[in-house]
Amino acid sequence: MEANVYFFAALVSTGIFLLQFILSIFFGSMDTDIDVNADGNADIDMSSVLSFKGLIHFCMGFGWFMYLCQPPYIVLHYLGAVISGSFFVFVLAWIYKLCYKLKQENKPEQGEELIGRKCEIYTRCQEQEQAGTDYVVYIAINGAQRELTVRSIQGKSYREGDILTLKNYKEGIYYID
């Protein structure tokens, strides 16, 4: 009889989990509950873990563990079920943390923020508007390799593949030396 209670708890919690999962896949864009994390940290607080989803995950772990154990139940069975349910909740918290990291927005880096960064000469620009030599370089901006037009301060000539540092930014033009 007691095994049926655990089976029922596990079955209901698993059913609710599957229903939430299926609804989030097909109707995920219709979610109106908005949780804004303005400070930019990908952290998990206790309210995220101790939520309805946390309770469902705990009941799944606890219920299936107790159902798989055979009566008569002893203290170790209950302890194992609590550990199993807690494991499910911590997996949920870990998944939340990974999802929050995906939601972080990149702050565009430009202008003075790029001074001091290493860049690699890709090619020389064919058009030279003013004194100096213009180059197209590869540089890491927001974690991705981008092309950027730079100018040599002293009109020095560089070869493709040379690694240089951005030295200055003035009036929309980056300078290397």
CB 66 within 8 A of CB 81: yes
Spatial distance between the Cα atoms of 174 and 14, rounded to a whole number of angstroms: 58
More confident residue, 34 or 54: 54
Shared domain check, 86 and 26 = yes
CB 147 within 8 A of CB 173: no
Find the mean pLDDT for residues 140-153. Answer: 86
- Print the domain residue range for 153: 111-176
Of 103, 125, 142, the position where a domain reaches its end is: 103
pLDDT in tens, 73-114: 889 999 999 999 999 999 988 988 888 877 766 677 778 888
CB 81 within 8 A of CB 68: no
Spatial distance between the Cα atoms of 174 and 172, rounded to a whole number of angstroms: 7
- Provide the number of structural domains found in the chain: 2
Tell whether the model's pLDDT for residue 27 goes beyond 70: yes
pLDDT at 44: 56
Of 51, 82, 103, the position where a domain reaches its end is: 103
pLDDT in tens, 159-170: 889 899 999 898
